[in-house]
Amino acid sequence: MSGYVRPGNSQPALLFPFIAGVVVVLSVLPLVRLAMTGLSALAAGGAISVLADRALWAAAYYTLVTALWGTLISVAIGAFFAFVLTLTDIPGKGPLGFLFVLPMMIPPQVTALAWVQMSGPSSPLLKALGMAPPLGSPQPLYSAGGIALLYGVQHAPLVYLALRAGLMSVPRDGVEAALLSGASPFRTFRDIVLPLALPGMIAGAAIAFVSCIGNFGIPAILGIPASIYTLSTLIFTKFSAFTDRTFGEVALLSGIIALISVVGLAVQERALGRRDYRIAGQAGARATFSIGGWKFIFLPLLAVLLFFMLVAPFLALLAGSLVPAYGVPLTFQTLSFHAFEEVLLRQTITRTAFANSLFLATVTALGLLALSVLAGYVLSRRRDAAASLVASLIEIPYALPGIVVAVAFILVFAAPLPVFNVTLYGTIWIILIAYFASFFAVSLKPVVSAYRQLDPALEEAARLAGAGFFTRLKDILVPLIAPAAGASVILVFLIACNELTVSALLWSTGTQTLGVVIYNLDDSGSSDVASALSVLVVMMVVIMMLLLEGMAKHLPAGVVPWRS
Amino acid sequence: MAKLILNNVSKDFGTGRPAVSGLSLDVREGGFLALLGPSGCGKTTVLRMIAGFETPSDGAILLGERLLADPSRSLPPERRNMAMVFQSYALWQHMSVADNVGYPLKVRRVSKDTYQSRIRDALDTVRLADYADRRPAELSGGQRQRVALARCLVTRPDVVLLDEPLANLDRHLRQEMEETFREFHRRSGATMIYVTHDQREAMALATDIAVMSQGKLLQVAPPRAIYARPEGRTVGGLIGRGAVLSLAVPEQMPRTLEWDLLRELLENPPPGNRATEDILVRPEDVRLGGEGSAARVRAALYEGERYSVTLQLANGQTLQAFSRDEPRPGDIVLVTITSAWRLSPENTARPA
C-alpha cells in the first residue's frame, strides 16, 4: 500500500538530513579543516617557529591585557546603566536604553574612526572648537589603553543586556519584603538584588571578554599605526606577507584565539546555568527603587556618559566628513560635501563596496531565512540528541571570533573545489558562504523562538485538514512566524552589511565590502572619505534599529537583541 | 464510512510506564463515543493515535478494512479524512473565519462554487453566518469553538475527534455547546470520539462511554448501563457518586442485592473470616428515617437542592445519602438501602 510513513516520523524524511548536511558544510568542515591544518603544522615542527616568534607572545599579551581592561570598563559602564535603568524610577528609560545599546550595532572600525576624529591633534571637531592639542602631540588612542577603552565602550551594551535580563527577574515582592523587614534600600540592594544579579553580570563580562578577544576593527585602526598587534590583527598582517608557512601559522594562531574564546564561553555558560534560584513571586513585577532627588545626579551623569560614548564621536565623525581634507579645521568657509560626493558619485570603489555589501547582506539575510524556516521547524519539533547537536554546531561559528571563521574558510576553499574545479577563494562567494556560517545562529534564533511559541495544535489542525508539509508551511506556519522572520532578516542584514572581520581576510579586488573600504580608506589617509562613508553607515544602522524597535511589540520576547 | 477498530493498541513513550496498554475498542459507525477518565489516564494519547499524531507501539488501528496504523507503518493525519476540535480550538489567527472553515476544502482543491456553498452551510449550522469575514481574535470563546466545529463539518470526515473541547468555556456556554454537539452529531451522522474528564458531559452527550484508567480500558457501555452496572471498583468509583461497602456476600447471588439480604449482612455478619467483596451503594438508593439499620451522621453538606450526608454504619463502614432535611452530625438515624450493586461479576471475593 502506498501513502504510509514510517512510524515516529511525522516530518518529511529528508528535512533533517538536509539541515544536518548544510551544518556540516558551514560548521563542521571548516573547523575540522582548521584543526587539521593546525595539528599538521604542529607535527611538522611549524609550532616551534610560531611559538619562538616574539611577535606571537607580544600579540597574545596585548590581546589578553586589552581584553581584560576592556571587559572591566564594559562591566563598570554596563552595570551602572543596567542598575539605574532597570531598578529605579528614573525618567526616560526607553530612549536612554536605546541610545546606550547603539554602540553594540555600530561597526567597531567606525567607532574607532569616530573616536580618532574626536581626539588627538588633528581632530576636526576639537579644531573647530579651538580645543585641539598642539600639532605633533601624539594621538592618545593609538595605544593599548585606547584599544581597551574602545573595547569597553563597544561591549558595555553586552554587559548591560545580560545583567538586565537577570535584574528583570528580581521579584518586586522580594524587595518589598526586605524593605518591610527594616533593611535600608542600600542594604536591600546589597543583600537581595546583587546576589540575584551576579550570574547575569558574570555572563555579561564573559561574553564581553570573548567579543574583545575576537575584535578586529578597533585594534586594526588604533593598534597597527602604533605597532601594537593583537592576535587577530597579527593574523591579518601574516596574510599580507604570505609565505608557504602562512597557512600553518595562522591555523595555530586561530586555534589560540578559539581556545581563549571557548574558555570565556564556558564561563558564561556556567554562570547562566547556575542562575536558578528561580524565583518565586510575580513574574515581570520589576523591583523599582524610588531614587527621588538622586535623579538630579544620575540623569546628568548618564547624559554625560552617553554624550562621550555616542554623541561626541558621531559629531566628530560628521565634522571629519565635512572638512575638505584631513587636518583642515572645520569652519563655515571650509565646510564641504566633497567627501559625500566622492563616496556616492565619484569613487567607483565605494560604489562597488555598497553594491557588494548590499548584495552580500541581502542574499545572506534571505538565504538564511529560508534555511532558518526549515531548520527552526526541525529543531523546535525534534527533541533528540541529534537535534541539539545540530543546534550547537550552528552556534559555534557565531560564537567564535570572525577571524577564526575566516581563516577556516580560507583553508577549505583556497584549493579548487574537487568536482567542479572552481576556486572560490578570491571571489565574492567565499565571503557569502562565510557569512552564512557566521550569521546562521543570528537568523535562526528569532525563528526558533517563534516556532516554540506556536501551539502545536495549529499545525496538527492543518494536517487533519489534509495539508502536506510544504502546503502547511506556506499557508499556516510561515504566516504565523512572519514577524519573527522579518526581524531575523533585518538583524542579519544589519550585521552582515557592517561586517569587517571576515571580509577583511576574504576580500580581493572587486569584492571589497563597506567595512573593508572604510578601513582601507582610513589606512591610506583619506579619513574624510572614510568618515563620510561611516556617517552613512551609522545612519543606516540607526534607521534599521528603529525599524526593529517599532516591530518589537509583535515579536516574541528575546528576538530583538537589545530588548529584554 | 465504516467501523473504527482499535485492536490491542499500546503506546509506550519510554517513560517507564506505558501511556496506553492493550486497548481494544470498536466504535460503531455513526456512534458518539466518550473517552472518559482522570487526567493522565491515556485518553488523549488514544485520540492522538486515532488522528495519526502518534503511532501505536503495539497493536493496530483500522477504519473498516483499511489499516490506519500499526507499529511498522502509519497513514499520516493528512490522509485519514478525519477532523478534530482541539482544546485550544487551533484557529489560524491570520485567516478570516471563512478561510479557517474553508481551509480543508482549499487543500482538496474543490471548485469555487462548492467552496463557497460548503462554507456557508457549515457556518449556518453553527449559527455564525454573519461572522464569516471576522478574524478569530474578534470572537468570543464559544464562537471560536463553533468555528472549529464548522471546520470539521465542511469535508464530511469519516471520524470527528474532540479533545476536551469544553474545558476552556464557562458553565453557561458549556451547556449551549453540548446542545450544538448533539445537533451536529445528529445532522452529520459522523462517528465522533469525545475525550473528557467530566462524566456529566460524557453522560449528556455520548451514545457510549469508554472508561479509562492508567492506560487501560476498563468498560465500554451506554451511559445508563455504565451508571447502573459499573464493572469493578475503579469504574464504580469514577462514575457517579456512591459508597463502596465491603460485605461477605454468599455465593450464587444476583448482581443486584436487595434490602433483606443487605440488612442481614450488615446486622448479623456471618461469623469467621469469610471473604468480602465490593458492593456499590448509590446515595439515591439510601432512604433515611422510618425503619432500618441504625447509622450515625458524620457530616452533612448543603448542596442547594438537598443535603449530601455521610453516614457511619454500625460495622464502621461509610455510606452516602441525600436528605431534604438537615441532619445534625452525631445524630443516630435509621437507614434502608433499597438496592446495591456487586461490582465484581463473579464471586471473586478477596480473602479477608
Q: What is the DSSP string of B175-198?
A: HHHHHHHHHHHHHH--EEEEEES-
Which numeric CATH code is attached to A53-322?
1.10.3720.10
> Of all residues in chain B, what percent are helix, strand and coil, respectively (each to 5)?
30, 30, 40
Average pLDDT (B243-262) is: 87
What torsion do the CA atoms of B92, B95, B96, B102 make, to the nearest 10 degrees? -80
Angstrom distances, CA of residue A150 to CA of A104, A143, A144, A484, A523: 11, 11, 10, 32, 18
- B chain contacts of residue A455, beta-carbon cutoff 8 Å: 88, 90
**Sequence-separated contacts (24+) of A276-284 with Cβ below 8 Å:** A277/A196, A278/A169, A279/A169, A279/A170, A279/A171, A279/A174, A279/A196, A280/A171, A281/A171, A281/A172, A281/A173, A281/A174, A282/A171, A282/A172, A282/A173, A283/A169, A283/A171, A284/A168
Q: What distance in Å separates the CA atoms of residue A225 and residue A239, rounded to the nearest whole number? A: 18
- B chain contacts of residue A454, beta-carbon cutoff 8 Å: none
* Range list of H helices, A88-193: 93-105, 108-118, 124-129, 144-168, 172-180, 185-188
Average pLDDT (A8-30) is: 85
Other C-beta atoms closer than 10 Å to the C-beta of B67 total: 16
Is the Cβ–Cβ distance between A254 and A408 less than 8 Å? Answer: yes
Picking from A110-124, A487-501, B69-83, B228-242, which range would have the lowest pLDDT averaged per residue?
A110-124
Is the Cβ–Cβ distance between A207 and A267 less than 8 Å? Answer: no
Higher pLDDT, A147 or A294: A147
Predicted pLDDT of residue A278: 45
* A·B CB contacts under 8 A: 87
pTM of the model: 0.82
Question: Residue A294 corresponds to which cell in the numbers above?
Answer: 538622586
Q: What distance in Å separates the CA atoms of residue A88 and residue A95, rounded to the nearest whole number? A: 15
Does A3 sit within 8 Å of B94, measured CB to CB? Answer: no
Is the Cβ–Cβ distance between B122 and B101 less than 8 Å? Answer: yes
Kind of pairing, strands B216-221 and B318-323? unpaired
User: Residues B166-200: pLDDT tens digits?
Assistant: 887 788 888 888 888 888 888 888 899 999 998 88
Average pLDDT (A228-242) is: 86
Is the Cβ–Cβ distance between A154 and A310 less than 8 Å? Answer: no
> Residue B174: enclosing H or E segment and its boundaries?
helix B171-188
Does B53 sit within 8 Å of A476, measured CB to CB? Answer: no
Question: Residue A263 corresponds to which cell in the numbers above?
Answer: 574558555
* Range list of H helices, A382-500: 385-399, 402-413, 428-453, 456-464, 469-472, 478-497
Taking only residues 84 to 113 of chain B, the set having a beta carbon closer than 8 angstroms to any beta carbon of chain A reads: 84, 86-88, 90, 92-94, 103-104, 106-108
Is the Cβ–Cβ distance between A524 and A347 less than 8 Å? Answer: no
> Residue A272: enclosing H or E segment and its boundaries?
helix A246-274
Q: What distance in Å separates the CA atoms of residue A274 and residue A498, rounded to the nearest whole number? A: 35
> Residue B312: enclosing H or E segment and its boundaries?
strand B307-313
Is pLDDT of A174 > 80? no
- A chain contacts of residue B51, beta-carbon cutoff 8 Å: 460, 464
> Of all residues in chain A, what percent are helix, strand and coil, respectively (each to 5)?
75, 0, 25
Q: Which residue has the cell 538622586?
A: A294
Predicted pLDDT of residue B221: 94
Q: What distance in Å separates the CA atoms of residue A428 and residue A506, rounded to the nearest whole number? A: 8
Q: Which residue has the cell 595539528?
A: A39
Cα–Cα nearest to B109, from A465, A291, A74, A149: A465
Does A465 sit within 8 Å of B90, measured CB to CB? Answer: no
Dmax (CA) for chain A in angstroms is 89
Question: Residue A431 corresponds to which cell in the numbers above?
Answer: 565571503
Is the Cβ–Cβ distance between A385 and A15 less than 8 Å? Answer: no
Domain B4-232 fold: Rossmann fold (3.40.50)
Is pLDDT of A281 > 80? no
Kind of pairing, strands B307-313 and B318-323? antiparallel
Predicted pLDDT of residue A282: 47
Whether the complex's predicted ipTM surpasses the cut of 0.90: no
Question: Residue B258 corresponds to which cell in the numbers above?
Answer: 436487595
At B352, the pLDDT band (50, 70, 90 cuts) reads very low
Rg (CA), chain B: 25
Angstrom distances, CA of residue B70 to CA of A4, A499, B11, B67: 10, 53, 11, 8
Taking only residues 147 to 166 of chain B, the set having a beta carbon closer than 8 angstroms to any beta carbon of chain A reads: 148, 151, 155
Q: Which residue has the cell 534607521?
A: A543
Amino acid at A71: T
**Sequence-separated contacts (24+) of A519-525 with Cβ below 8 Å:** A519/A109, A519/A217, A519/A220, A519/A221, A522/A109, A522/A113, A522/A221, A523/A224, A525/A326
Cα–Cα nearest to B164, from B118, B125, B201: B201
Q: How far is CA B2 from the centre of its chain?
A: 22
> Residue A549: enclosing H or E segment and its boundaries?
helix A527-551
Mean pLDDT of chain B: 89
Answer whether CATH 1.10.3720.10 is correct for domain A14-52+334-564: yes
Q: What distance in Å separates the CA atoms of residue B213 and residue B215, rounded to the nearest whole number? A: 6
Predicted pLDDT of residue A10: 56
Predicted pLDDT of residue A274: 59
Predicted pLDDT of residue A1: 44
Does B87 sit within 8 Å of A480, measured CB to CB? Answer: no
Percent of chain A at pLDDT > 90 equals: 23
What torsion do the CA atoms of B99, B101, B102, B106 make, to the nearest 10 degrees? 90
Predicted pLDDT of residue A11: 66
Average pLDDT (B292-313) is: 91
Is the Cβ–Cβ distance between A401 and A214 less than 8 Å? Answer: yes
Candidates B103, B110, B160, B162: best to mutate against A (most CBs of A within 10 A) is: B103
- A chain contacts of residue B150, beta-carbon cutoff 8 Å: none
Give the distance from residue A177's alpha carbon to the nearest chain B alpha carbon, in angstroms.
36
Q: What distance in Å separates the CA atoms of residue A86 and residue A287, rounded to the nearest whole number? A: 8
Q: What distance in Å separates the CA atoms of residue B175 and residue B166, rounded to the nearest whole number? A: 9
- Any chain B CB within 8 A of the CB of A455? yes
Q: Which residue of B has its CA nearest to A461?
A: B90
Q: What distance in Å separates the CA atoms of residue B54 and residue B114, rounded to the nearest whole number? A: 33
At A332, the pLDDT band (50, 70, 90 cuts) reads confident
Average pLDDT (B299-321) is: 91
- Any chain A CB within 8 A of the CB of B224? no
User: Residues A101-157: pLDDT tens digits?
Assistant: 888 888 888 988 888 888 877 777 777 777 777 777 778 888 999 999 999 999 999
Cα–Cα nearest to A319, from A470, A101, A129, A179: A129
Average pLDDT (A440-455) is: 89
Predicted pLDDT of residue A327: 67
Rg (CA), chain A: 25
Q: Which residue of B has its CA nearest to A483?
A: B94
Among the partner-chain residues B71, B84, B94, the one whose CB lies closest to the CB of A461 is B84
Predicted pLDDT of residue A6: 64
The domain B241-342 is placed in CATH, from the list 2.40.50.140, 2.60.40.10, 3.90.550.10, 1.10.357.10, at 2.40.50.140
Mean pLDDT of chain A: 84
Could you give the residue range(s) of every CATH 1.10.3720.10 domain in chain A?
A: 14-52+334-564, 53-322
Average pLDDT (B245-249) is: 87
Q: Where are the domains of chain B?
A: 4-232, 241-342
> Residue B73: enclosing H or E segment and its boundaries?
strand B73-74
Task: Give, in degrees to the nearest 5, the angle at Cα A508 between A503 and A510.
Answer: 105
- Any chain B CB within 8 A of the CB of A530? no
- A chain contacts of residue B84, beta-carbon cutoff 8 Å: 460-461, 464
Predicted pLDDT of residue A183: 82
Predicted pLDDT of residue A373: 95
Which residue(s) pair with B233 in the sheet? none
Predicted pLDDT of residue A22: 95
At A40, the pLDDT band (50, 70, 90 cuts) reads confident
